[in-house]
Structure 1
């Protein structure tokens, strides 16, 4: 009788532990499913916020370029580019004139330069 009581008690304990483990497994699975759903929801929200941020940055760029400061900056940039192009052209022409002058000075039949 002692062995059968011990066996029954062992079986009850094993069944209780198995039931507890099964309950833990199902609970963890439910928790994992909930966390995955929340992760997907947060991921889509992050993508939506990224898109909103890109749109806001584009709108900000448009506002900056159309504001008085943006117009002035664009005009200043255009002016600087124009002056740079003009200075480059003048430098090239001066260099070409210098080369032409030097060539005339070195050619054998040319008259001496008068100051």
Structure 2
């Protein structure tokens, strides 16, 4: 049986967030009004991570598609940047995924620590 998730997703793993995780995160940054439209358009963590490489035309298309106010888009970008910087600085705690059984917590913690180095490299390339 899969556990239901009712708390915001872990920022460390934002690039593997589901559309529901993104919706929960939008609530925490006071952009919950966009939750449904992001879900309808399949905006997940991988999509959010790729936004840093969007051209101006792609950004404008995204804003129109999601009916976003410009200020809200800026807030979204600032919050994404805050998460990436926190990951880069190692400020995020490594935790097991919400859906994983507790008996596997050590396995997930070790895997996350091994993968953290590659995440930091990709974040450095973007900044």
Work out whether the TM-score is over 0.5. Answer: no
Q: TM-score, normalised by structure 2?
A: 0.22
**Rg bigger for which structure?**
1
Normalising by structure 1, report the TM-score: 0.24
More helix by share: 1
Which structure is richer in relative contact order (CA contacts within 8 A, separation 6 or more)? 2
